[in-house]
Structure 1
Amino acid sequence: TSHDGKLYICGNGDMKQITRENVPYSLCEAKCPICYYGTEADCEVRATDLTVTETGQKFVYHGRQTGEVELSVMGGHNVNNALVAMALGEQFGVPFDDAVQALKEYRPFSMRGERKDAHGYHVIDDTYNASPDSINSNIDALFDYAKTGQKIVVLGDVLELGEQSEKLHRGIGKFIVEEAQKGKTLDLVITVGEGASFIAKQVEETSNIAVKICKDNEEAAAFVKKCAKEGDWILVKGSRGMHMDEVVQKVVM
């Protein structure tokens, strides 16, 4: 890190504390200024007035300049991504209006939050890869998309978690139940794989949310097609090695 550099850190929730505990923070502070971005009031770069639109979401950006930013993708994680992109644009002299227009025109890559409509229902294909945090973020974002119809998630294993696999998969289940207690209740949780089965088990043991543990992607896709109705929203996600895109292909065909 050079003296004329800048360190951008997400300032939401407990991220500041986590960063201080896990990054050689004093070294960073000594070598370059730090910019916090997020939705918290004390962030140097922040988003306010978040609104869901028919095609995505929008917010008011506050940095060196202030203005409205429109996105075609949902979820708070994408607001954070847009914030730091705008901040970097300002840092490197990108005209503000050009940066706003670029974000407005952005469309997700294949299997990265891609929306596919078929048979009257809507599938969110985020099957490129997964971590526990990204699954939780996508479940949260599903409620931004889905104002009507059932909310269904099809989740495959998060691979390479080692001895922490059961604990971390159950953590996803706990998140689903905690969100339900806040009024964000999924209608059906479908899982594929040994690790993901602990998500379903955790949900089943601690809530009334319907679950289905499937042995493979073919069974999961067939169950979705059996249960899904017009107007429903279906999130499909899992590690790349689980090939959850097979579920998407079978559901939309």
Structure 2
Amino acid sequence: MHTSTTSTAPLIAWTVAELQQATQGVWYQGRVPQGDIKRILTDSRHAEMGDAFLALKGERFDAHTFMTQVQAQGCQVAIVSSPLPELDLAQLVVPDTRLALGHLGQFRRQQYPHLKVIALTGSSGKTTTKEMLGSILARLAPTLITRGNLNNDLGVPMMLLELRPEHQYAVMELGASHIGEIDYTSNLVAPEVAGILNIGTAHLGEFGGREKICQAKSEIYAHIQAKGTAIVPAADDFFATIQQNAAAHQQLSFGDGGDIYATEIQLGAQSSTFKMHTPQGTVDIDLPFAGAHNVENALAASAFALAIGIDLADIVLGLAQAKGAKGRLNFIQHQQYTLIDDTYNANPSSMRAAAEVLLQQQGVKVMLMGDIGELGESSRDEHAALGHDLAQLPLDYVIAVGEFAQDTAAGAEHAQHVHAFSTQAETLPFLLDLIQQHQNQPMSFLFKGSRYTHMETLMADVMEKL
């Protein structure tokens, strides 16, 4: 069954000729290694005999400085941009090791022309949609799925290096932190089907506007294979632009007004049911995920699956068995308390969606909101707007924590049930006092914030005291 943990399956070895062919590198001083290379690594701590260590260089680091260490660990092959003459290693010299990693990933991808590859991007919902697709496809055949957040110009080729002959499907998540990144990664993965889930405000600060985010995400359509399909979000306010950006391909749309849409939606505390209408027919879906946004994610997953020829009956089964990723609306029941762990990450739209899920829960409803990062100059305004919207919902308490907590409270016009704290240490006593006040009542807590806020720490502290 599909999981998102590190793969333990053996990787396919590289011959010396393949390594040289993929990178177009030159062996330093003509020293060519003997035997095959079992894997290509970028983490010096794990490099050992039989590996090739690829020395990446960034703005703040240069892995060439770890070459002595990898040699001491028994590693005898390195891929470098600056050879070190004093080392007793076979060094394959390339102009840029970051690009060499891309070439290696692309070479591995090209060895499996019959592999059906799905590429997806979006401002929110990528991880959950990816997990839903993994559940649908892994029931049918071995499937490679992006692990964790390996979705950038380094992570995507690293995932491609894990391809093996038995894989029949691959689900690749592509992230964007600048214009051109998805153009680069979608070229490496050469998808048969590619699509955008939505255009939100994640990374707003880096792009300087939603139009630019739409432009960056739309690069995913640039490298769809001939006769492939573009997936487009019918209910998104950038739908017309996205449709235009994907005009070179046949399209399948999801969401209200799309080819694949939902009716008779029933949202439960921890699950949902709905009728899904598709060009292949209408089916009843039992989804073990809470929230209207996850109905949308399920429609998207179904669109991708249908586009690569998956049967509707298999989609129904796969969605019914899907599990959320760690820190993505995971429910923890403890006595009369429900704790919702949604601490993996946050953006303004996912914060609003999570609040709607909290509203479906039992008892006193407490929202614990950490800061949202990567909003740039819009940070204060976005937190204030969020505070305003959350204050309108029938939540019992909204507790903002962090640098922008006061902006959230100000946006809520300092409503009595909205509280702001600078740190988790300040929040904890208030929270425990709240639990004491309501000790005989059921309570539901939602913990959510951007990754760097580590809201799971606050959740663990609370659980310890319950």
Q: Give the TM-score of the pair, scaled to structure 2.
A: 0.48
SS of aligned partner of 1:194: coil
**Structure 1 residues 47-87: Cα deviation after superposition (integer angstroms, max 9, x where no partner):** 11111346411111111221111111111111111111112
Match among 314, 321, 328 for residue 98 of structure 1: 314
Q: Measure the CA separation in 1 of the matches of 2:365 and 2:298.
A: 26
Q: Measure how far apart 1:165 and its partner are.
A: 0.6
Which amino acid is the alignment partner of residue 196 of structure 1? A
Whole-Å separation in 2 of the counterparts to 1:114 and 1:27: 35
State the shift of 1:196 in Å: 3.0
Structure 1 runs of 4+ with >6 Å offset:
none
Larger relative helix fraction: 1
The equivalent of 1:46 in structure 2 is: 261
The yes-or-no answer on 1:113 pairing with 2:329 is: yes
Q: 2:418 is matched with which residue?
A: 211
Deviations 1:189-247 (A, max 9, x none): 11111113311221134xx4512212322332332222134321111100111110011
Percent identity over paired residues: 28
Task: State how far apart, in whole Å, the 1-side matches of 2:231 and 2:405 are.
Answer: 33
For the Cα contact (< 8 Å) 2:269–2:290, is it kept in 1?
A: no
More displaced, 48-57 or 63-72? Answer: 48-57
> Structure 1 CA distance, aligned partners of 2:268 and 2:364?
19
Q: Is the 8 A contact 1:6 1:35 kept in 2?
A: yes
Asked if the contact 1:51–1:57 (Cα under 8 Å) also holds between the matched residues in 2, the reply is yes
- 2:174 aligns with none
Name the structure 2 match of 1:138: 354
For residues 323 and 428 of structure 2, the distance between their equivalents in structure 1, rounded to whole angstroms, comes to: 26
Q: Which residue of 2 aligns with 1:18?
A: 238
C-alpha displacement at 1:141, in angstroms? 2.0
> Which blocks of at least 5 consecutive residues in structure 2 are unaligned?
1-223
Residue correspondence of structure 1 range 224-239 to structure 2 within 5 A: 224-228=431-435, 229=438, 230-239=441-450
1:1-253 aligned at under 5 Å gives the runs 1-12=224-235, 15=236, 17-21=237-241, 23=242, 25-29=243-247, 31-38=248-255, 40=256, 42-53=257-268, 55-63=270-278, 64-144=280-360, 146=361, 148-177=362-391, 180=392, 184-205=393-414, 208-228=415-435, 229=438, 230-253=441-464
Cα 1:209/1:93, change in 2 over 3 Å: farther
Return closer, same or farther for 1:231/1:98 CA change in 2, 3 Å cut-off. Answer: same
- Secondary structure (helix, strand or coil) at the match of 2:285 reads strand
Q: 2:268, 2:290 within 8 Å by CA — same for their partners in 1?
A: no
Cα distance change, pair 79–167 in 1 and its aligned pair in 2 (3 A): same
How has the CA–CA distance of structure 1 residues 152 and 55 changed in structure 2, closer, same or farther, with 3 Å as cutoff?
closer
Structure 1 pair 9–141 and aligned structure 2 pair: CA distance change class (3 A):
farther
3-state SS of 1:204 partner: coil
Structure 1 pair 141–53 and aligned structure 2 pair: CA distance change class (3 A): closer
> Which structure 1 residue ranges, 5 or more long, are not aligned?
none
CA drift of 1:27 comes to: 4.4
* Number of residue pairs the alignment of both structures matches: 236
> In 1, distance between residues paired with 2:457 and 2:294?
25
Larger radius of gyration: 2
Aligned mates of 2:268, 2:358 — CA distance in 1: 14
1:192·1:213 contact (CA, 8 Å) conserved in 2?
Answer: yes
Conserved 8 A contact 1:187-1:209: no
Distance 2:377 2:260 in 1: 38
Shift of 1:3: 4.7
